[in-house]
Structure 1
């Protein structure tokens, strides 16, 4: 357990114990920093649960957490045309978020972080200028006076509607979101004719999502079936029920249901210039178009931990801004490209049909998987990029046959 200094001050208090917060707490504790990890108990984020090999390597994810190894994705168009994209030279790992997140929190505690279970209340300042995080323990009766954690720095990793962000970082309250909903069901035992436990199905159909996509992702003995949309009037539950009926998954048992907002793009500012830096969904690091967030959240948590450690060591609040600078230098271009792709290709069923058609192209498949698996743009084959560019133009202007 972490010990505070003689003044009763933690180096860092991390609010939120998802992949970003737990990674930040783990990294800081391993460096010998005194860390408190505050998290609500029992919340499971709706998530397809996919992690690329880069995440497994960079964050030492043990094999027992990988509940399925995906070797292909099937893209399904509005007219039910199917395009298979086989994974070459590897696999996509699938994790169950309840088990995965708890493992990360437990690992942080083993490294020396102090785990606290309860609800964040506020970031305040003591009379001596020390930062204070107030919180209420889980199960405390109404009216309980919040407890206090004195700290040098706060990492806000408390989700897309981050209370830490709303209180401390200008603009954090305006983060645009897609609302995601999924149902975890038992894996079929013959009830679903086209189900493959080693393939992710991605459904591009305005009937199931007017502006995003829907999914069927295997998780070993379970399956995640979900959808997302930024349209407030769109029924996510109704959409998933319709998708299950259309695919035969209405015949299998439902285990649980979950929903949450998912940010659409990184915030322009992640820190308050004084003592707070955001990470994970709170910072908006979910990839547009794909909705992928676990790897980016863990990387963001690591970068936030590095910036917090630098700030604690130097006292220079400018260090807090380096988390965003480093992240955007590495991945800003990818997020920009994916944002344009989502804006254009997801805007109508006609365009979704063409998008799935493009996915048949072997250059597209190879470069997509190489970029996804390694989390960097592929530059070693410039001619393939040129070919894709002209093929995309043909589809944009209707020269290619659908």
Structure 2
């Protein structure tokens, strides 16, 4: 027999887990479908606002980062310390995602493990989510609403919201290695290193993010034929990490632009990477995925309460109202500053500016474009112009 749910959430990453938890707490009968064993390649950085807003417990924060180092094509290094007692939390996705799924189940969501196959329709036109178990058996879950939170190149989107499946992506790859002792060579357990070097990524960036006992070292590129594994091998060698034990490695596409539509106008809405909510330029996705899951849950609740499918459109509308301007600015930054080694060099130079550092961290930590100190924005504007027109030294 096919069990009927108010909502079936396809995908148990941060977005899907948060959506399932929110709806279960609202009293809805929710199924959370996840494919066991998959870990997304991710630097694992989360801002203080996420920790506060989503009640992330202390034990999941495996490291506290208090600075970032930007490395230019010329090997020039610019440090960006976080002022005061602020920090960026680091999490291991293997444990972080499972915590969120468990919390959703504790709230009342019913967990299902398997690989999503397709959505069918019964004789009344109701959605039926079909997934395959590890044994190859097909299971069907009837749903009044489906949330597609199954990542970039979403199979749910491909079937139900085709325009969203065409969002451009960067392919990311990282290796989780055993961390060396702190202060070994260039390694600092409290600092994230970001490499803006074409030899490691022709159109994005590479990173070394400490996670306590382990470290994520990764890169991304949309350029076909570029060897991501070769890039990481070279990066490990050049930073003295080549001898560190490899624990695991992962690769996956990461969307670089919010999709123009997130719902099918009937009974399906997208969330997280499936909706394209990874920040351009920075590649940050965990916070935006969780907020996207929250907005998707609110839209679904409104749809179920009123019976009006137009309510599903609220997910994208609310997200873009809150974060669309940031995505637009970061998109312009990536398009311009990542386009050549010369511009990358200038971008890293701009990062030396104390106004840039302070406003960048304030915006990142609080997930809002800071409006404090308007004269700092004016100063940055004119400094940017000087770099753009070659009037400032690199």
What TM-score, normalized by structure 1, do the two folds share?
Answer: 0.96
Q: Deviations over 1:348-402 (max 9, x none)?
A: 1111110000000000000000000000001121111111001000000100011
Deviation, structure 1 residue 8: 4.5
Query: What SS does the corresponding residue of 1:239 show, helix, strand or coil?
Result: helix
Within the candidate set 130, 136, 147, 1:134 is matched to 130
- Runs of 4+, deviation exceeding 6 Å: none
The residue number in structure 1 matching 2:81 is 86
1:169 aligns with 2:165: no
Q: For residues 162-241 of structure 1, what are the structure 2 equivalents within 5 Å?
A: 162-189=154-181, 192-241=184-233
Distance apart, 1:173 and its partner CA: 2.3
Aligned match of 2:35: 40
What CA distance in whole angstroms lies between the structure 2 residues aligned with 1:39 and 1:13? Answer: 11
| Alignment match, 1:114 | 110
Gaps of 5+ in 1: none
Mapped partners of 1:111, 1:86: distance in 2? 39
Matching of residue 99 in structure 1 with residue 99 in structure 2:
no
8 Å contact kept, 1:191–1:252: no
Q: State the alpha-carbon separation in 1 of the partners of residues 183 and 352 from structure 2.
A: 28
Please tell me whether the aligned partners of residues 200 and 217 of structure 1 are also in contact (alpha carbons under 8 angstroms). yes
Post-superposition offset of 1:122: 1.1
TM-score (norm 2): 0.98
391-400 or 125-134: bigger deviation: 125-134
1:343 matched to 2:343? The reply is no
Of residues 105-114 and 85-94 in structure 1, the stretch that sits farther from structure 2 once superposed is 85-94
Q: Does the CA contact (< 8 Å) of 1:161 and 1:173 recur in 2?
A: yes
8 Å CA contact 1:170, 1:272 repeated in 2 = no
Q: Distance in 2 between matches of 1:356 and 1:99?
A: 33
Contact 2:172 2:251 in 1 (8 A): yes
- Alpha-carbon deviation of 1:251? 1.6
Task: Decide which of 269, 273, 279 is 1:281's aligned counterpart.
Answer: 273
Q: 1:209 and 1:128 mapped to 2: Cα distance?
A: 50
Structure 2 gaps, min length 5: none
Match for residue 8 of structure 2?
Answer: 13
2:80 partner SS? strand
Count of aligned positions:
393
1:68 aligns with one of 63, 70, 74 = 63
Aligned equivalents of 2:333 and 2:27: distance in 1? 43
SS at match of 2:377: helix
Q: CA 1:110–1:190 in structure 2 vs 1: closer, same or farther (change >3 Å)?
A: closer
Q: Output the aligned Cα RMSD.
A: 1.2
Q: Distance in 2 between matches of 1:346 and 1:109?
A: 42
Task: After TM superposition, give the deviation of residue 172 of structure 1 in Å.
Answer: 2.0
- The CA distance in 1 between the partners of 2:124 and 2:350, in whole Å, is 61
Give the match's secondary structure for 2:218. Answer: strand
Residue 354 of structure 1 corresponds to 346
CA displacement 1:316-363 (0-9 Å, x = unmatched)? 001000000000001000000000000110011111110000000000
Partner of 2:22: 27
